[in-house]
Structure formats: C-alpha cells, structure tokens
Amino acid sequence: MKPCQTAALALFAWWLMVPICRDGRGQEYCADLAQSKWSWAGNYRSQAACETDRARYLALEKKLAKLEVISNPLTVTGLLHLEYTNGICAAADDPRFPQIKSF
C-alpha cells in the first residue's frame, strides 16, 4: 500500500458498508449477500459519526414510508431502504470487508 493510501485510511477509520440490493430479489437476498460483495456508502472519522449518519438516513426513510414512497421495494428509495437497514459501520481494518483496502 502506498503511503498516501495509508494516510487516507488513517483519516477515515470507519466505513459505512451496505449490501447492494438493486436486482429486485428483495429482503432475503439483501440480508444474505456475502459481505465481500457489499459496497462503500460513506467514510467517517469515528464509529459514532458513522452510526449517526446511518440512523439519520433510517429516520428519513421512516418519514418517506409515511408518504408510502418506500412501500414498493423495487423503487430506488425502497432498494436504498433495504441496503441501509442491513448496512453496518465497519472499521477500516475489518477482515470481513477486504474491499475497503481498495478504496
């Protein structure tokens, strides 16, 4: 790893990782997708910042659900709901996500 890549990882020690559920197979597929196939959705300086951002997004989804925007899981908002519901905050050195090192 190059020194500049190492420095970037040091700045952002936490990553929001989400499964990509955009093929229309629904909740079960999204929850069972191998973590090595998950994608980066954000980077943060702390776990708390990552969890706060994820919680903020989920709160927005609740508001959208009241408007019935995410009632259909095949809409873009419905798919993002599946992804963020199953997403997790992971440390930059988390062995479950080898793809983090390639960002």
pLDDT, tens digit (0-9, with 9 covering 90-100), for 68-85: 655 555 555 666 677 787
pLDDT tens-place string over residues 81-103? 777 878 899 998 888 888 776 55
Of residues 81 and 55, more confidence is placed in 55
Q: DSSP assignment of 41-102, as one string?
A: EEEESSHHHHHHHHHHHHHHHHHHHHTTSSSSTTSHHHHHHHHHHH-EEEETT-TT-GGGGG
Instruction: Give pTM, 2 decimals.
Output: 0.68
Domain range annotation of the chain: 3-102
